[in-house]
Chain A
Amino acid sequence: GAGVSQSPSNKVTEKGKDVELRCDPISGHTALYWYRQSLGQGLEFLIYFQGNSAPDKSGLPSDRFSAERTGGSVSTLTIQRTQQEDSAVYLCASSLVLSSALFPQYFGPGTRLLVL
């Protein structure tokens, strides 16, 4: 079956612009996760959704970052007024349910964001 997909694959933007990154989880997966991978910080957890709800937003780096999930499926990560330090690979993952770590997280190919 289809895996987690993300779009765009690569995004180049100018400092100060807003960007939207999209994630399509595996069909039927109720839990969805966003991570950021950068040279300086390694792999950082950003946020997770159980259904359309995000109980813990404390991993988002700043208030310029927001995420939503609609219909229990597609999620969008929005970065407003992008800064050069936002340049990174943004990875999305999904799992069947949140409530058990026996259901592992499956990752998408990521979106590489470059802020000039």
Chain B
Amino acid sequence: AQTVTQSQPEMSVQEAETVTLSCTYDTSESDYYLFWYKQPPSRQMILVIRQEAYKQQNATENRFSVNFQKAAKSFSLKISDSQLGDAAMYFCAYRSGNAGGTSYGKLTFGQGTILTVHP
């Protein structure tokens, strides 16, 4: 079974600064996808960024980028120029790319990291 670990229960950053959230995962699969979701107090999970394991290039979405280290099974999220609206719980998630697996449709989430942004 796959597991996802976020070792930072809480992080804080000053507005306009950069912060990195850590995520490690464990899998024996070679084909998979990794995601970062943001959950503000409204509860709605919002997709931040996605990485396909077969791609070596790190994904980037505006101020959000990832550092994907496949051999180390590490998938960290970097938020640049932090804004007050970035304050939320951030979840790292794993999805199998193995269409034959029974857990194919399932997202496995880490425990989450609460990000506080100070003005």
Distance in angstroms between the alpha carbons of A104 and B105 in the assembled complex = 10
A109 CB contact (under 8 Å) in B37, B43, B99, B107? B43
Distance in angstroms between the alpha carbons of A101 and B102 in the assembled complex = 14
B20: min CB distance to chain A, Å:
21
27 contacts between A and B (CB under 8 A): A31-B105, A35-B107, A42-B109, A42-B110, A42-B112, A43-B112, A45-B103, A45-B107, A45-B108, A48-B106, A55-B102, A56-B102, A56-B105, A98-B105, A101-B95, A101-B96, A102-B33, A104-B35, A104-B47, A104-B50, A107-B37, A107-B46, A108-B44, A109-B43, A109-B44, A110-B44, A112-B43
| Contact status A33-B105, CB under 8 Å | yes
Q: Known A43-B91, A43-B109, A108-B44; judge A58-B102 contact (CB<8 A).
A: yes
Distance in angstroms between the alpha carbons of A1 and B91 in the assembled complex = 25
The residues in B between 37 and 90 inclusive whose CB is less than 8 angstroms from any CB of A are 37, 42-47, 50, 52
| Contact status A106-B47, CB under 8 Å | yes
A105 at the interface (CB under 8 A from B): yes
| Contact status A102-B52, CB under 8 Å | yes
Q: Known A42-B111, A101-B97, A104-B35; judge A89-B43 contact (CB<8 A).
A: yes
Chain B: interface residue total (CB-CB under 8 A): 28
| Contact status A107-B44, CB under 8 Å | yes
Among B91, B105, B110, find the residue whose CB has the most chain A CB atoms closer than 10 A.
Answer: B105
- A48 cross-chain contacts in B, Cβ below 8 A: 105-106
Query: Please, what's the 1-or-0 string for A45-56, where 1 marks a CB less than 8 Å from any CB in chain B?
Result: 100101000011
- A70 cross-chain contacts in B, Cβ below 8 A: none
| Contact status B107-A110, CB under 8 Å | no
Distance in angstroms between the alpha carbons of A104 and B42 in the assembled complex = 20
B29: min CB distance to chain A, Å:
12
- B107 cross-chain contacts in A, Cβ below 8 A: 33, 35, 43, 45, 93, 105
